[in-house]
Amino acid sequence: MLSGKTILVGVTGGIAAYKAAEIVSRLKKLHAEVHVVMTDGAVRFITPLALRTLAATSVHTDTFAEPKMWNVEHIALAQRPDLILVAPATANTLAKMAAGIADNLLTSVLLATDKPVFAAPAMNHVMYHHPATQANIAVLKERRVRFIGPVSGFQACGSEGDGRMSEPAEIVAQVREYFQPPSALNGKKVIVTAGGTQESIDPVRFITNRSSGRMGYAVAEAMRESGAEVCLISAPTHLQAPSGVELTPVVSAQEMYQAVLSRYDRADVLVKVAAVADYRPAQSADQKIKKTGDQLTIELIPNPDILAELGKRKRGQILVGFAAETERLIEHAMEKIRRKNLDMLVANDVTKPGAGFESLTNIVSFLYPDGQRKDLVQMSKIEIARILVREIAELIEKK
Ligand code: CTP
Residues 126-135 have pLDDT tens digits of 999 999 999 9
Report residue 27's pLDDT band, with 50, 70 and 90 as the boundaries.
very high
Positive or negative, the CA dihedral 256, 259, 261, 263 is negative
Ligand 1 atom nearest to 310, measured from its CA: 7
Q: What are phi and psi for residue 10, nearest 5 degrees?
A: -95, 125
- The rounded distance, in Å, linking the Cα atoms of 354 and 367 is 20
* Ligand 1 pocket, residues with Cβ under 6 angstroms: 253, 272, 274, 276, 278, 303, 305-307, 321-324, 336
Ligand 1 atom nearest to 324, measured from its CA: 20
pLDDT tens, residue by residue, 296-320: 999 999 999 999 999 999 999 999 9
Give the per-residue pLDDT at 305: 97
Give the per-residue pLDDT at 353: 82
Task: Single out the catalytic residue among 1, 69, 99, 157.
Answer: 157
- Residue closest via CA to ligand 1's atom 29 equals 325
- Residue closest via CA to ligand 1's atom 16 equals 323
Residue of 219, 256, 270, 278 to mutate, ligand 1, most atoms within 8 A of C-beta? 278
- Tell me how far the alpha carbon of residue 192 is from its chain's centroid: 14
Give the per-residue pLDDT at 387: 86
Range with top average pLDDT, 29-43, 348-362, 364-378: 29-43
pLDDT tens, residue by residue, 92-126: 999 999 999 999 999 999 999 999 999 999 999 99
What average pLDDT does range 225-240 have in this prediction? 95
Give the per-residue pLDDT at 71: 63
Helix 91-99 with 131-142: angle, nearest 10 deg? 50
- The rounded distance, in Å, linking the Cα atoms of 120 and 149 is 6
CA of 13 to the centre of ligand 1 (A): 51
CATH label, 189-398, candidates 3.30.70.20, 3.60.130.10, 3.40.50.10300, 2.70.98.10:
3.40.50.10300
CA distances from 274 to 6, 20, 142, 188, 288 (A): 36, 43, 20, 21, 28
What average pLDDT does range 137-162 have in this prediction? 87
Give the per-residue pLDDT at 125: 93
Give the per-residue pLDDT at 388: 94
What average pLDDT does range 327-333 have in this prediction? 90
Find the distance separating the first CA and the last CA of the chain, reported in whole Å.
29
Within the chain, all domains assigned CATH 3.40.50.1950 are found at 6-179
Asked if 207 contacts 252 with a C-beta cutoff of 8 angstroms, the reply is: no
- Tell me how far the alpha carbon of residue 282 is from its chain's centroid: 38
Give the per-residue pLDDT at 250: 98
Mean pLDDT of the chain: 92
Higher pLDDT: 95 or 74? It is: 95
Could you give the percent of the chain with pLDDT greater than 90? 75
Amino acid found at 194: A
Ligand 1 atom nearest to 253, measured from its CA: 8
Name the pTM for this structure: 0.67
Give the per-residue pLDDT at 72: 63
Q: Please return the burial class of 308, using the count of CB atoms within 10 Å of its CB with bins 0-12, 13-18 and 19+.
A: middle
What average pLDDT does range 38-63 have in this prediction? 91
Could you give the percent of the chain with pLDDT greater than 70? 97
What average pLDDT does range 360-379 have in this prediction? 87
CA of 279 to the centre of ligand 1 (A): 11
Architecture of domain 6-179: 3-Layer(aba) Sandwich (3.40)
Angle at 1 between CA 183 and CA 50, to 5 degrees: 130
CA of 289 to the centre of ligand 1 (A): 29
Within the chain, all domains assigned CATH 3.40.50.10300 are found at 189-398
Give the per-residue pLDDT at 62: 82
Q: Catalytic site residue 157?
A: yes
Give yes or no for residue 179 having a pLDDT over 70: yes
Report residue 342's pLDDT band, with 50, 70 and 90 as the boundaries.
very high
Report residue 257's pLDDT band, with 50, 70 and 90 as the boundaries.
very high
| Number of separate helices (H) and strands (E) present in the chain | 14, 22
Give the per-residue pLDDT at 393: 93
Give yes or no for residue 324 having a pLDDT over 80: yes
- The rounded distance, in Å, linking the Cα atoms of 357 and 2 is 38
CA of 221 to the centre of ligand 1 (A): 22
CA of 195 to the centre of ligand 1 (A): 13
